């Protein structure tokens, strides 16, 4: 069932993280009648500076845990929708210690679904293409919304579990839900643990970039602003109970992305270290976004990856005070893992 939906007062969980904060900026800049309550625990990945300077009559930050049912009962009433971004999001961390992933990604989603059920609120679930497992490098196929779930890592298995909870809550309780599964995002405010910011900030610090395995793994890159617009379109025009895949035809091997960064930052193509591979490392992700494009008319705007990369490198050059505090601890963690 399709439902025209005009939200005025939404909760964005994880709105101080990378993609969540980009979504908050997108909503504030493009949908003037909408108020956003950000619910964020401010873990190591959450930074209130990501939403600093946004108008205080449009954006309110509530610092708290999505697993706190009493807090949810206090803040959810009066909102039209929850857009759920909060998560433990990094695969390498999930391999080192899966427990926070179980709690935040699975139990946290359960708590939000129950709060939506108690208070009659619509729910959009932000998920990942990793729930579908991986594809071979030479396979012409891309992920389809109805593909079977085959997650590989502790992170992706908790995201898959949370998607299944959403599907069940829709079917059993008629909760008004939508799900989106997106490919790899890049852009401003991404934590330095992730591939692109890690390599850019390594070069800025005089550290050699680090490439896992044989460097041939493929990721399907999308600019985070295109992701934000897609989530908004799904929230406001998507069919209830449906899953939409978000991707921008951005397949690239890790070594190609690294070479592009090295070249743009004035380094030689072999100015990097090969390091230990990620256990269970997914080979290739690739999204078929046809359903989103044909049903909702969404199209990516940031289609020039080189230009997006230049802007992202410039952003990290100009915001050293933002990333520097997290850099040393992040690299110390990687060094312990041989990465």
Query: For this structure, is 316 an active site residue?
Result: no
Provide the CB-side half-sphere exposure for 261 (13 A, CA): 30
Closer residue to ligand DAU, CB minimum distance, 47 or 89: 89
Cα distance between residue 126 and residue 124, in whole Å: 7
Site string for ligand NAD, 174-203 (x = CB under 6 A): --------x-xx-----x------------
Please name the helix (run of DSSP H) or strand (run of DSSP E) that holds residue 63, with its range, or none.
strand 59-63
Cβ pair 209, 203 in contact under 8 A: yes
Give the active site residue among 155, 189, 285, 316.
Answer: 155
217 binds ligand DAU (CB under 6 A): yes
Using the contact rule CB under 6 A, the part of the chain among 77-85, 191-199, 264-272, 295-303 near ligand DAU is 191-199
183 binds ligand DAU (CB under 6 A): yes
89 binds ligand DAU (CB under 6 A): yes
Looking at residue 237, what DSSP letter applies? H
CA angle 302–305–311, rounded 5-degree value: 80
50 binds ligand DAU (CB under 6 A): no
Considering only residues 2 to 21 of the shown chain, the ones binding ligand DAU according to CB under 6 A are: none
Cα distance between residue 111 and residue 74, in whole Å: 13
Q: Is the dihedral of CA 253, 267, 301, 198 positive or negative?
A: positive
Cα distance between residue 229 and residue 172, in whole Å: 29
Closer residue to ligand DAU, CB minimum distance, 65 or 220: 220
Closer residue to ligand DAU, CB minimum distance, 121 or 165: 165
194 binds ligand DAU (CB under 6 A): yes
Q: Which of 125, 219, 229, 284 binds ligand DAU (CB under 6 A)?
A: 219
Cβ pair 210, 273 in contact under 8 A: yes
Cα distance between residue 145 and residue 291, in whole Å: 8
Burial profile 225-248: b = 16 or more Cβ within 10 angstroms, e = fewer: bbbbbbbbbbbbbbeebbbbbbbb
Site string for ligand NAD, 154-173 (x = CB under 6 A): -----x--------------
- Residues in touch with ligand NAD (CB under 6 A): 13-14, 16-20, 39-43, 45-46, 65-67, 85-87, 89, 104, 108, 126, 128, 159, 182, 184-185, 191
């Amino acid at each position: 069932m399709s439902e025209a939906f005009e939200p005025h007062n939404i909760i964005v969980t994880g709105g101080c993280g990378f993609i969540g904060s980009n979504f908050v900026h997108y909503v504030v800049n493009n949908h003037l009648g909408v108020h956003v309550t950000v619910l964020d625990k401010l873990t190591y990945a959450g930074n209130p500076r990501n939403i600093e300077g946004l108008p205080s009559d449009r954006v309110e930050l509530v610092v708290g845990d999505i697993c706190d049912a009493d807090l949810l009962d206090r803040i959810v009433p009066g909102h039209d929708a929850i857009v759920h971004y909060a998560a433990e999001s990094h695969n390498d961390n999930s391999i080192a210690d899966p427990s926070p992933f179980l709690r935040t990604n699975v139990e946290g989603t359960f708590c939000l679904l129950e709060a939506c059920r108690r208070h009659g609120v619509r729910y959009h679930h932000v998920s990942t293409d990793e729930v579908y497992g991986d594809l071979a490098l030479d396979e012409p196929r891309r992920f389809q919304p109805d593909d079977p779930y085959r997650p590989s890592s502790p992170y992706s298995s908790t995201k898959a579990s949370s998607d299944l909870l959403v599907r069940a809550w829709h079917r059993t309780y008629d909760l008004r839900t939508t799900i989106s599964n997106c490919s790899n995002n890049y852009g401003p405010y991404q934590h330095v643990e992730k591939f692109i910011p890690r390599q850019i900030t390594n070069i800025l610090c005089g550290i050699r970039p680090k490439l896992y395995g044989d460097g041939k793994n493929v990721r399907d890159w999308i600019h985070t602003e295109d992701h934000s617009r897609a989530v908004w379109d799904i929230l406001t025009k998507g069919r209830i109970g449906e899953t939409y895949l978000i991707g921008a035809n951005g397949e690239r091997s890790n070594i190609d992305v690294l070479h592009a960064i090295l070249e743009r930052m004035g380094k030689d193509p072999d100015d990097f270290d090969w390091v230990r591979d990620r256990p269970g490392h997914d080979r290739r992700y690739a999204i078929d976004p046809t359903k989103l494009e044909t049903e909702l008319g969404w199209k990516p705007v940031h289609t020039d990856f080189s230009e997006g990369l230049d802007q992202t490198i410039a952003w990290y050059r100009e915001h050293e005070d933002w990333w520097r505090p997290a850099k040393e601890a992040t690299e110390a963690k990687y060094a312990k893992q041989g990465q």
